[in-house]
Structures are given as structure tokens and as C-alpha cells.
Amino acid sequence: MTRAAVRVLAPSEAIHAVKEAYIGYTVRAAGRLEPEALTTAFEAVCRAYPQLSARVEFGEHGVALTESDIRPVVRFADGDLDRPLAGLDVDQSRSLSALNVVRDGDEASVCLAIQHSIADAHHATAILSTLWSCYTDVVEGVPLDVPRHPYPRSLEDLLAERGIHASTPAAPGGPAAPAAPPASRPDPVVRHVVQHRLTEAETTALAELGHREKVTINGLVSGAILLAEAEIRDMPLTDLVYRYSVNLRTRLRPPVGATEGTNVLGGVGFKVTGGLAHDAVAIGRAIGEQLRAGLADGSVQRSILDMFARPAAAKPWDPSLALTVVSIMNWGVAPPMRTPDGLRLTNLHSASRMRETIALGGYVMSSFGGRVGIDLGWPEGDPSLPDRLGCLRERLTRLTRDL
């Protein structure tokens, strides 16, 4: 079959191809899981969302999204449920998605792995919801009727269509088309996360605190994370740089559907100032105030455009700065996921696999089944994880205790 190029990836997409970054969107299932029905459902989803069956190809003009004649892998194996990417071999030159199912008795981790160039978390969890809906229909004998969607568009195209451009035009010499990965590359870094999940009561208490103090749950969790990281790193809180993503879909006019764009995100940096109280409520409130101001003046919407508008020479990477950065991705509230009788989905968490020369850790926050979960995504075997998890748990307990 002749492979046709769909389009060249924009800078906000191509950066993830250089890292060969796959993100795993993992649900824990309890009960009867039928492999043939799940395979049929995944095949239907891949037909409905053609980017899942595509591949990327490096060339002189950049990284191209290209049609592929190789079906995405569906794999079933017994193993450790906390290692949802174990045994999965992904290759972006062949396919940009895979489904890896790790089973242990009546439980399973079902991991939808998607190359980050074609989908962010809001996009991927919408597809995950469709997968479970299709699975339920197959099990219940309902004919599948999933409409085919067009290939998603880049952030750059969606913003340009709405009259949003970088603050300054791209300078000569940047952004350049990314070079193909060298023959000698670092081994993939796999992050099987450790998750701290709040109970329903703790999640309710956190929401009530936020309502009373006019701070979002994201702000409160962010404040707790920053305090924990300052303690674990034994650094002044004011030395840390907090970086987080913002889903722009509902912030744009007209709004963007979940799967209409690939990575429809803004990036924000925040630092605790010297005059700010060192407690999670005050920090969370300051984060929210800065975000609202950035959305109002458009700097959040332009943030990724502005980053790529600068030539590479203007933004050298100093590895020592990595010691001060604390990052979080907020997946938001997971969309509904249907299941047939006899099967329950009990949790959602992340995993990742990418080639990196500097392997850093970071957080992912999500809400599933009325409970907030915070993933600690550090490279496997990182010795700091137990203390980091304990410190974060203590900071969050202080927020929800006696409320």
C-alpha cells in the first residue's frame, strides 16, 4: 500500500516526535474482560480516528504525519498491574498508538498508549471513552456505529484561524525543522507512576475548602506540591519554578472539540514571591490570579507560539535549571466511560515512555470516579519516590483534615 503524507507536523507537535514520546492512559478494570471484544472495539476506534493508525517520518522539510499500512498493536499478557507499559514495544515509524493489557486474575490494567504528537490528555481520554463505549456495544451485541473523524489540527492552525499569533514574528534561524533522531540515541525512559489518590471524602473536603477560599482544586493541589517539593529538595520555596499546562479548548472562540486538535495547550510558569504566605491556600490563590490575568491579556493562549517564535540560539538549555523546575499536567475530570455488566473501571492514571538525555520527574493530576488522583511520574527506580510520596500525602492531609 502506498503511504500518503497527511501533513507536516507543526513545532508544537514535532517536539514530541523527536523524543519519541508515548503517553499511556491507563484504566484499572475489575471483572470479566473479553479480549476479542476489546480488540474489535480498538480496531473500530482506530478506523474512526485515523491518527491512531498513522506514523511519523523525518525528512528535509520536517516531520510528516503519514498514513501507515501497519495495524496498531493490541497486546494481552499476565503481569504486574502497576507496570502498564511492561512488554510493549512501540515504534513511531510504524504506528502512533497501541493497546497494552496487563492482567492479574480478575483485574487488568488497560493502557491506551498514544504518541504525544497527535494527542494531548484531553484528546486521548475522549478516545478512551469511545473505546469503552465500543467495547460495551460489542459485548452487548449492539452494532458499532462510530463516525470517522478527520485528522486533528495543530495548535498553530487553530490559533491562527482565530486571529491569535505570536507576540513577535519568528526570527530568522528559528524555528528550524527538527532533525531526525541520530542513530545512537538514549534508551527509552519508562515511567510507571506511583499514584496518591484521595478518598471521596477527602476530595469533597478539598472542593469545599476551595469553594470557601475561592481557590480551585488544581490551585490547592499545586500549592501542596510546591510545599512538598521545597521540603524534599531542601530548597527555598521562592527558588522553585512551577510549570503547568492549560487546556485551551474552552478558552478559545469558537471553542475546540476534544479531538479536533492535537495538543491544544498553553504553558504557564509561576514563582512564589517573597511576600506570599507559605501555605497551599495562599499559593493556590496566587496561581489562579496569575492564570486569569494571563488568559485575559492573551499571553497564555500565545505561550507556545511565543516559545517557538524565538530562535534556538536565544533559549539555550542549562541543565542546572532542571533542579528548580516542578511540572504538572492536569488531565481534568475524566469523561464518562461505559462498561457492560460484570466489569467496573476503578481508576485512571498515567504512564510514559520517551527517549531523553535528562530524565526528570513530574506530576499528573486527574479526577476519576469522584476522586482526585496525583501521579508521581519519576523514572523507574528513583530513590526519592517513597519520601516524595510521603511528603505530598502529609501536605494534602493537612488541607483536608478536620474540614
CATH of the domain at 130: 3.30.559.10
**Residue 113, Cα to own-chain centre: how many angstroms?**
11
pLDDT value of position 2: 45
pLDDT value of position 181: 66
Mean pLDDT along residues 376-392:
92
220 and 155 in a common domain: no
Mean pLDDT along residues 239-267:
97
Q: Is the pLDDT of residue 171 over 90?
A: no
Q: Is residue 50 part of a domain?
A: yes
pLDDT confidence of 82, banded at 50, 70, 90? very high
What CATH number did the domain enclosing 382 receive?
3.30.559.30
Mean pLDDT along residues 105-124:
98
**Regarding beta strands 362-368 and 55-59, do their DSSP bridges make them parallel or antiparallel, or are they unpaired?**
unpaired
Domain boundary (161, 177, 198) is at: 161
133 and 11 in a common domain: yes
Q: Is the pLDDT of residue 274 over 90?
A: no
Domain boundary (144, 161, 178) is at: 161
Q: Is residue 84 part of a domain?
A: yes
pLDDT value of position 102: 98
Cβ(300)–Cβ(162) below 8 Å:
no
Instruction: Flag the least confident range among 205-214, 225-234, 313-322.
Output: 313-322
272 and 373 in a common domain: yes
Q: What is the DSSP string of 367-401?
A: EETTEEEEEEE--TT-TTHHHHHHHHHHHHHHHHT
195 and 71 in a common domain: no
Mean pLDDT along residues 289-313:
89
What share of the chain has pLDDT > 70, as a percent? 92
pLDDT value of position 359: 80
pLDDT value of position 174: 54
CA distance 337 to 129: 5
CA distance 99 to 136: 17
Range of the domain at 256: 190-331+364-400
pLDDT value of position 401: 79
Buried b vs exposed e over 332-351: b needs ≥16 C-beta within 10 Å? eebbebebbeebebebbbbb
Place of cell 473536603: 205
pLDDT value of position 147: 95
Cβ(198)–Cβ(373) below 8 Å:
yes
pLDDT digit string, tens, across residues 31-74: 999 999 999 999 999 999 999 999 999 987 789 999 998 999 99
